[in-house]
């Protein structure tokens, strides 16, 4: 099993950046990230390369964090592979509360999705990233 760190934060501008900054300064490598939000707060779920030091760094940065065990697995890149695993679990009465992607051993980069509620700001973010040379993923890239 892997350990996931859940960080509880206010849902306001700059808080995600502050979490990542704290981990960056501690030289923690984020292998997976998921964000769940409500109007007032969010939960940032992370799988990192060093859970113990990440917790220390987050605590020193005044973040509230808790560790949970998660099961991670790989599946072949073929049609139906995920279905087979999910069905197997479901057929055995196992309910999955949430799921997210993580970088695999054989990949050199990860795909990250961010949601920006304000459409104008989202368009601006796309332009800024493109201008900076960041490779934007398009729907065609996912086919």
pLDDT at site 52: 94
Looking up residue 128, the CATH number of its domain turns out to be 3.30.2130.10
The pTM of the full predicted model, rounded to 2 decimals, is: 0.78
First to last CA, the chain: 31
Please indicate, yes or no, whether residues 46 and 29 belong to a single structural domain of this protein.
Answer: yes
Please indicate, yes or no, whether residues 84 and 138 belong to a single structural domain of this protein.
Answer: yes
- Give DSSP secondary structure letters for 28-76: PPEEEEEEEE-SSEEEEEEEES-HHHHHHHHHHTT-EEEEEEE------
- Residue-wise pLDDT tens for the chain (143 aa)? 678 999 999 988 999 999 999 999 999 998 889 999 888 889 999 988 899 999 999 999 999 999 998 888 887 777 888 888 889 888 888 888 898 887 655 555 556 666 666 778 878 888 988 888 787 776 666 44
pLDDT at site 35: 92
Positive/negative CA dihedral, 52, 55, 60, 66: negative
- Rounded distance, CA 7 to CA 61, Å? 11
Q: Which domain holds residue 51?
A: 2-66
Neighbouring residues of 102: CB distance < 8 A, sequence distance ≥ 6: 31, 32, 47, 72, 110
Please indicate, yes or no, whether residues 132 and 76 belong to a single structural domain of this protein.
Answer: yes
């Amino acid at each position: 099993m892997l350990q996931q760190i859940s960080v509880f934060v206010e849902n306001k501008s700059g808080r995600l950046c502050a979490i990542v900054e704290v981990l960056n300064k501690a030289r923690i490598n984020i292998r997976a990230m998921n964000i769940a939000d409500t109007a007032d707060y969010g939960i940032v779920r992370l799988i990192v390369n060093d859970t113990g030091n990440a917790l220390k760094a987050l605590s020193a940065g005044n973040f509230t964090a808790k560790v949970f065990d998660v099961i991670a697995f790989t599946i072949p890149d073929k049609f139906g592979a995920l279905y087979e695993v999910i069905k197997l679990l479901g057929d055995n009465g196992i309910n999955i509360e949430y799921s997210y992607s993580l970088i695999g051993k054989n990949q050199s980069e990860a795909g990250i999705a961010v949601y920006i509620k304000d459409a104008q700001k989202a368009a601006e973010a796309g332009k800024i990233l493109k201008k900076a040379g960041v490779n934007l993923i398009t729907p065609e890239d996912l086919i």
